[in-house]
């Protein structure tokens, strides 16, 4: 059930395409969240986003954006919302400056507001020196940057970003992360669909996972990992581990609460733990106490990846 302050809410929303049905979709997003919207190709992410933007009409159920119906009350619902589509195809005959001016006019911004915002946004996304180039001449990554810039025009309160990091170089990814965090710090809300789970893990505060048109999960990232993973593994890296006599250490780690099994690994030890436990501090202390030279300690694989794959397969990871 949507909370009264939710900026986005779906209540049993269904889109029936005939041979395929998306929904019923029920979830809400509160202000200040950065929500990762995950799901495999064809799972219904884009349809859900397009219902939210009032571009397609749900067959049944309700959708609210800024507490308004995005279809019936499209203008007011979208007043403070920015959208960057997946693989944006922007008007190739315009320049970045002209595209942002067009966006400003659509938003009803005055000349001064436009002139104030435009260079800042182009600078933020790293396109200030390309502002007079035709969009047709820009690279895929630059078009992606421009798409995010047009979404951020007009100081929106909500950003809906469909795969915003595709085609962006590493420096751009870092810049975008910072841009999005600042946006949320200033009171904004972001819903971001992505297949790059490391990006979601780094940026998002919560998740919505959709598969075959159904919402599989809505909540925090850690809660998702706990729910989906039966166990997690910590890799304990010890310098010159072959020479290190680790029998005592294995016994002491095994006795820690939450530890299921300890086994040798090429660089040290692999410690399997219960998903709701975190004995990393104790393990590091024990390694040092037993004379080991600890060089690294961390989860052995991307937990979100594992949890996500487990959710999509429908079984807990082993």
Partner 1 sequence: MRASRVLTFARYEIRRAVARKKVLALVALTVLISIAPYYALYATHTSLITPPLRPYLWILGVFLPQAFFLQFTALLIAAGSMSEEYEQGTAEVLLSKPVSRQEYFFGKYLGGYALVVGIVVLDVVLSISSATFVFGPQQQLGIEPMILLAQVFAALVFYSFAFMVGELMRRSSLSYILSASVFFTSEVVGVFLNILYTLTGTNIYKVANYYLPTSPVDSLPLLLAEPKFPSSVQLVFRFAATPVEPSIGISALLIAVYFISAVLIALTYFSRMDVAKRVT
- CA–CA separation, 283 vs 297, rounded Å? 9
Rank residues 90 and 221 by Cβ distance to partner 1 and give the closer one: 90
CB of 69 to partner 1, least distance (A): 13
CB of 278 to partner 1, least distance (A): 42
If you write DSSP's letter for every residue of 233-285 in order, what string do you get? Answer: EEEEEETTTTTS--HHHHHHHHTSTTEEEEEEETTEEEEEE-TT---HHHHHH
Rank residues 157 and 218 by Cβ distance to partner 1 and give the closer one: 157
Alpha-carbon distances of 175 from 146, 193, 238, rounded to whole Å: 14, 18, 35
Listed residue (278, 242, 244, 240) closest to 258, CA to CA: 278
- Order of strands across the sheet that contains 259-265: 259-265, 268-273, 232-238, 294-299
List of residues contacting partner 1 (CB under 8 A): 46, 50, 53-57, 74-79, 81, 83, 85, 87-94, 102-103, 105-108, 147, 150
Rank residues 74 and 260 by Cβ distance to partner 1 and give the closer one: 74
**Cis-peptide, bond into residue 24, ω within 30° of zero:** yes
Rank residues 28 and 84 by Cβ distance to partner 1 and give the closer one: 84
Residue 303 per-residue DSSP state: H
CB of 142 to partner 1, least distance (A): 16
- CA–CA separation, 91 vs 14, rounded Å? 32
Rank residues 83 and 217 by Cβ distance to partner 1 and give the closer one: 83
Largest CA distance in the chain: 73
Listed residue (158, 186, 188, 182) closest to 68, CA to CA: 158
CB of 59 to partner 1, least distance (A): 11
CB of 7 to partner 1, least distance (A): 15
CB of 4 to partner 1, least distance (A): 23
Rank residues 59 and 222 by Cβ distance to partner 1 and give the closer one: 59
């Amino acid at each position: 059930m949507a909370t009264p302050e939710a900026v986005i809410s779906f209540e049993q929303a269904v889109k029936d395409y005939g041979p395929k049905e998306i929904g019923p979709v029920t979830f809400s997003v509160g202000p200040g969240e950065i929500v990762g919207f995950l799901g495999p190709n064809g799972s219904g992410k884009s349809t859900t986003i397009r219902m939210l933007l009032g571009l397609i009409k749900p067959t049944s159920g309700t959708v609210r954006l800024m507490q308004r119906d995005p279809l019936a009350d499209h203008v007011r619902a979208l007043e403070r919302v920015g959208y960057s589509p997946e693989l944006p195809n922007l008007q190739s005959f315009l320049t970045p400056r002209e595209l942002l001016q067009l966006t400003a006019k659509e938003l009803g911004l005055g000349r001064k507001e436009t002139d104030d915002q435009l260079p800042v946004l182009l600078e933020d996304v790293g396109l200030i020196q390309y502002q007079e180039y035709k969009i047709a001449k820009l690279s895929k990554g630059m078009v992606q940057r421009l798409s995010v810039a047009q979404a951020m025009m007009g100081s929106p309160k909500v950003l809906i970003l469909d795969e915003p990091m595709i085609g962006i170089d590493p420096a751009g990814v870092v810049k975008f992360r910072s841009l999005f965090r600042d946006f949320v710090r200033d009171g904004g809300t972001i819903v971001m669909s992505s297949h790059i789970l490391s990006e979601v893990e780094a940026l998002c505060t919560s998740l919505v996972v959709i598969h075959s048109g159904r919402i599989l999960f809505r909540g925090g990232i850690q809660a998702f990992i706990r729910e989906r993973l039966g166990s997690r593994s910590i890799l304990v890296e010890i310098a010159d581990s072959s020479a290190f006599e680790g029998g005592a250490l294995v016994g002491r780690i095994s006795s820690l609460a939450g530890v299921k099994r300890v086994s040798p690994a090429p660089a040290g030890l692999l410690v399997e733990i219960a998903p709701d436990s975190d004995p990393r501090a104790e393990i590091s202390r024990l390694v040092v106490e037993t004379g080991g030279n600890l060089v690294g300690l961390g989860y052995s694989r991307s937990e979100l990846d594992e949890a996500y794959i487990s959710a999509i397969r429908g079984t807990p990871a082993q």
